[in-house]
């Protein structure tokens, strides 16, 4: 699914990471840990195809099979939950859009507020909607950056359930204990 | 059809965001009316129509700049570029959808600005209206591309005027002179260039 050799990323003179080698097979789970500023987010952006590596070789799956959720929920605050998901459902050309959107909103406890603007949501609800958006097109590779951010116990339990799905995962987190048992690969930045 | 549908969905999203947030268009309207009012009092009586027309174009360009500065605010503040860029739609659809929304804001501002200019100075003829309409297309296409470039940079408020204003000089020159064919050519060339270049603008290196 992902293969990297000697991967490095620099911004000008600043070295973010160097010498990253990894092989992540389909169905694998890569756990990325490290302190703030160690390069976790940049690595995830490179593996999502959102940033080009400065050096090294990288093989990634096709763009439409990738889902990426960054630090922020990546949803439009002035649109409703339904409008956000409908927009991305359209861009991803989902054939049965309404059913898929309805199922995800129900699953993440957002159905009742589907017509409310996201700006009225709590940060945790926004994160749930971000997870809905990123799961919408059934990506085979999902990259999540601090996905437990702002989630309450119920939200975190919902996310734990998401990890049971048969996908390939790359997760950067400060709470490795929640997903440690799932990890098939580990990458620790110093 | 799919490409057109993507563009329509993205443009509709931008219009909906503005309808709800009301942040860009009111600022543009206030700015253009304030600018024309200042020009009205600053110019001596008996100023020629040509001189006043030049100031109209200056007001329109800076009003457009104000709108362009805010064009990608939602994408920047809410991290939406990442989500849009990963979608399997053609990336140029993101540019075209945004350019259409910018064009709509420009037209809305001018629907107010041109009658205000007529009230403060002198009437606007059909050739000027046509020139403004053609200029809007050039401003929206080039400005949206530069807006996307600037939004990725640190000094974005500085970068956009530095990129956009030099490109607006031919628009103003042709607009004041009423050279419609030049404006149409400018629109065609820069629309194609911006459409083709957007893919590389949003690709982080």
Strands of A14-24's sheet, edge to edge? A14-24, A2-11, A55-59
CB contact under 8 A, B6 and A90: yes
Q: Taking residues B22-37, what's their average pLDDT?
A: 96
State the Cα torsion A156-A158-A159-A164 to the nearest 10°.
Answer: 130
Q: What is the pLDDT of residue B64?
A: 97
Q: Are A72 and A150 in contact (CB under 8 A)?
A: no
DSSP state of B72: T
Compare all CA atoms of chain A with the CA of B4 and give the residue at the minimum distance: A91
Count chain A–chain B contacts defined by CB atoms under 8 A. 77
Decide if B80 and A45 are in contact by the 8 Å CB cutoff.
no
Chain A residues whose beta carbon lies within 8 Å of the beta carbon of residue B84: 91
Mean pLDDT of B122-143: 95
Q: Which residue of B has its CA nearest to A86?
A: B9
CA–CA gap between residue A49 and residue A115 (Å, rounded): 32
Span A10-17, average pLDDT: 89
- φ, ψ of residue B86 to 5 degrees: the values are -80, -15
Summarize pLDDT for A91-138 with one digit per residue, the tens: 999 998 999 999 999 999 999 999 999 999 999 999 999 999 999 999
pLDDT over 90 for what percent of chain B? 80
**SS3 call for A28:** coil
pLDDT tens digits for A26-66? 999 999 999 888 899 999 999 999 999 999 999 999 888 99
The nearest alpha carbon in chain B to A52 belongs to B205
- For B88-134, strand residue ranges (E) read none
Long-range CB contacts for residues B189-192, cutoff 8 Å, separation at least 24: B190/B138, B190/B141, B190/B142, B191/B137, B191/B138, B191/B141
Give the phi and the psi of residue A29 in degrees, each rounded to 5: -135, 110
d(CA A166, CA B197): 38
Nearest to A87 among B2, B13, B21 (CB): B13
> What pLDDT is attached to residue B49?
86
Structural element, H or E, at residue A143: strand A141-145
- Residue B95's domain comprises 2-201
Q: Best residue in A44, A48, A78 to probe B by mutation, most B CBs within 10 Å? A: A78
Closest CA to A134 of A182, A95, A173, A171: A171
Residue A172 has phi, psi (to 5 degrees) of: -105, 125
Q: Which one of A44, A58, A74 makes the best mutation probe of the B interface by having the most chain B beta carbons within 10 Å?
A: A74
Q: Is the pLDDT of residue B156 over 90?
A: no
Q: Give the pLDDT confidence score for residue B177 in this predicted structure.
A: 92
CB B106 within 8 A of CB B67: yes
The one-character DSSP state at B44 is P
Q: Write out pLDDT tens, residues B158-173.
A: 899 999 999 999 999 9
Nearest by CB to B13, which of A63, A74, A79? A79
Q: So what's the pLDDT on residue B1?
A: 58
Strands A2-11 and A55-59: antiparallel
Query: What distance in Å separates the CA atoms of residue A60 and residue B31, rounded to the nearest whole number?
Result: 48
Residues of A in contact with B74 (CB under 8 A): 76-78
Q: How many CA atoms lie within 13 A of B205 on its CB side?
A: 6
Give which of B14, B190, B188 is closest to B100, Cα–Cα.
Answer: B14
Q: Does B192 touch chain A (CB under 8 A)?
A: no
Domains: count for chain B: 1
Identify the pLDDT of residue B155. 77
- Say if B20 is an interface residue toward chain A (CB within 8 Å): yes
In terms of CA atoms, which chain B residue is nearest residue A67?
Answer: B86
Percent of chain B whose pLDDT exceeds 70: 99
The ipTM is: 0.90
Mean pLDDT along residues B129-152: 94
Q: What share of chain A in percent tops pLDDT 90?
A: 82
A186 dihedral zone (left: phi>0; alpha: psi -120 to 50; beta): beta
pTM: 0.91
pLDDT class of B176 with cuts at 50, 70, 90: very high
Asked if A45 and B82 come within 8 Å (Cβ–Cβ), the reply is: yes
Q: For residue B85, what are its two tokens?
A: 């860029």
| d(C-alpha A87, C-alpha A78), whole Å | 13
Q: What is the pLDDT of residue A1?
A: 84
Mean of per-residue pLDDT scores for chain A: 93
Q: Which residues in chain A touch residue B6, judged by CB atoms under 8 angstroms apart?
A: 90-91
Probe site for chain A from B22, B81, B86 (most A CB atoms < 10 A): B86
Nearest residue of chain A to residue B11 (CA atoms): A87
> What average pLDDT does this structure show over A79-84?
97
Beta-carbon contacts of residue B180 (< 8 Å; ≥ 6 apart): B127, B130, B131, B134, B174
Task: Indicate the helix (H) or strand (E) that contains B131.
Answer: helix B126-152
Of B21, B74, B89, nearest to A91 by CB-CB distance is B89
CB B80 to CB A74 under 8 A?
Answer: yes
Rounded to whole angstroms, the Cα distance separating A145 from A70 reads 5
Cβ-in-10-Å burial (0-12, 13-18, 19+) of B167 comes to middle
Exposure string of B12-34, with b = 16+ CB inside 10 Å and e = fewer, is bbbebbbebbeebbebbbebbbe
Class of residue B48 by CB neighbours under 10 A (exposed 0-12, middle 13-18, buried 19+): exposed
Q: Residues B83-101: pLDDT tens digits?
A: 999 999 999 999 999 999 9
Of the candidates B181, B176, B174, B151, the residue with the CA atom closest to the CA atom of residue B164: B151
Taking the C-alpha atoms of residue B169 and residue B172, their distance in angstroms, rounded to an integer, is 5
């Amino acid at each position: 699914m992902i293969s990297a050799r000697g991967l490095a990323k620099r911004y000008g003179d600043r070295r973010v990471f160097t010498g990253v080698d990894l092989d992540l097979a389909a169905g694998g789970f890569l756990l990325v840990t490290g302190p703030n500023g160690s390069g976790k987010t940049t690595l995830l952006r490179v593996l999502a195809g959102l940033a080009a590596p400065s050096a090294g070789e990288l093989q990634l799956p096709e763009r439409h099979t990738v889902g990426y959720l960054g630090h922020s929920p990546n949803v439009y605050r002035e649109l409703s939950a339904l409008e956000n998901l409908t927009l991305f459902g359209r861009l991803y050309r989902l054939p049965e859009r309404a059913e898929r959107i309805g199922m995800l909103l129900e699953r993440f406890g957002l159905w009742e507020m589907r017509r409310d603007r996201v700006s009225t949501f709590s940060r945790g609800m926004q994160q749930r909607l971000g997870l809905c958006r990123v799961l919408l097109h059934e990506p085979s590779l999902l990259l999540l950056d601090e996905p437990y951010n702002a989630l309450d116990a119920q939200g975190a339990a919902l996310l734990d359930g998401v990890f049971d799905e048969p996908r390939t995962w790359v997760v950067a987190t400060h709470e490795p204990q929640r997903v440690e048992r799932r990890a098939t690969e580990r990458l620790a930045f110093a | 059809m799919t490409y057109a549908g993507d563009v329509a969905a993205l443009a509709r999203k931008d219009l909906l965001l503005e309808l709800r947030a009301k942040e860009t268009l009111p600022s543009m309207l206030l700015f253009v009316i304030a600018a024309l009012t200042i020009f009205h009092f600053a110019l001596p009586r008996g100023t020629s129509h040509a001189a006043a027309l030049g100031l109209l174009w200056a007001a329109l360009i800076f009003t457009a700049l104000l709108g362009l500065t805010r064009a990608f605010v939602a994408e920047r503040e809410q991290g939406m570029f990442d989500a849009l860029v990963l979608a399997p739609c053609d990336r140029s659809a993101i540019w075209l959808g945004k350019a259409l929304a910018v064009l709509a804001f420009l037209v809305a501002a001018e629907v107010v600005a041109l009658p205000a200019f007529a009230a403060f100075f002198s009437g606007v003829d059909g050739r000027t209206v046509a020139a403004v309409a053609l200029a809007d297309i050039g401003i929206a296409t080039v400005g949206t591309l530069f807006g996307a470039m600037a939004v990725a940079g640190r000094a974005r408020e500085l970068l956009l005027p530095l990129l956009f204003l030099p490109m607006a000089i031919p628009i103003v020159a042709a607009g004041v002179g009423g050279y419609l064919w030049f404006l149409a050519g400018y629109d065609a060339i820069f629309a194609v260039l911006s459409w083709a270049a957007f893919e590389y603008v949003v690709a982080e290196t």
